[in-house]
Amino acid sequence: MKLLKVLIVFLFLNFGALLLGGLFTSSGVTSEWYTNINQAPWTPPGWLFGVAWTSIMICFSFYMTNLYCSSSNRKNVILLFALQWVLNVSWNPIFFHFQLTGLALIVISSLTLIVASFFIFYSKQNRFNRVLLSPYLIWLTIATSLNFYIFQYN
């Protein structure tokens, strides 16, 4: 029962992050600004962003539940999660609303490093957790490259 309660909390927090970020995105990937800038040739279609983030947050919620429940130092886990959460939520308004692609690149690069640190430092004892975290890390690597391209060529 405890695992289920922790999972529900992480699902709420992770999908809350997506909701908050989405409030600032407005039309996001379909906005006039975004569709008219130079985008990387490997930019995925707009519909894939929602599918990817939904899948990623489900996996990440299970990952965090496993990590939180098995950790001997929950304070550090929650601190790192909170930092990841703030960076994740802040990227959308910085990129889409304020159109500050350089600052957004710093934010998403920092977010990628935080998620990579979860992967490196907290997934050694549990290989299944690496599988759960891999989609987030892969997507952030792609998203960082897309942000870099936009920063570089606009």
pLDDT of residue 142: 97
Cα 81 to Cα 115: distance, rounded to the nearest angstrom = 9
- Tell me the per-residue pLDDT of 41-61, one tens digit each, with 9 for 90 and over: 999 988 898 899 999 999 999
Query: Domains along the chain?
Result: 2-153 (1.20.1260.100)
Cα 20 to Cα 138: distance, rounded to the nearest angstrom = 22
pLDDT of residue 26: 65
Residues of the chain with pLDDT under 70: 26, 125
pLDDT of residue 128: 86
Cα 129 to Cα 118: distance, rounded to the nearest angstrom = 10
pTM of the model: 0.93
Residues 6+ apart with CB under 8 A from 57: 11, 14, 15, 17, 18
pLDDT of residue 25: 73
pLDDT of residue 57: 97
44 secondary structure, DSSP code:
P
User: Please, what sign has the CA dihedral across residues 124, 126, 131, 132?
Assistant: negative
Tokens linked to 62:
């299970």
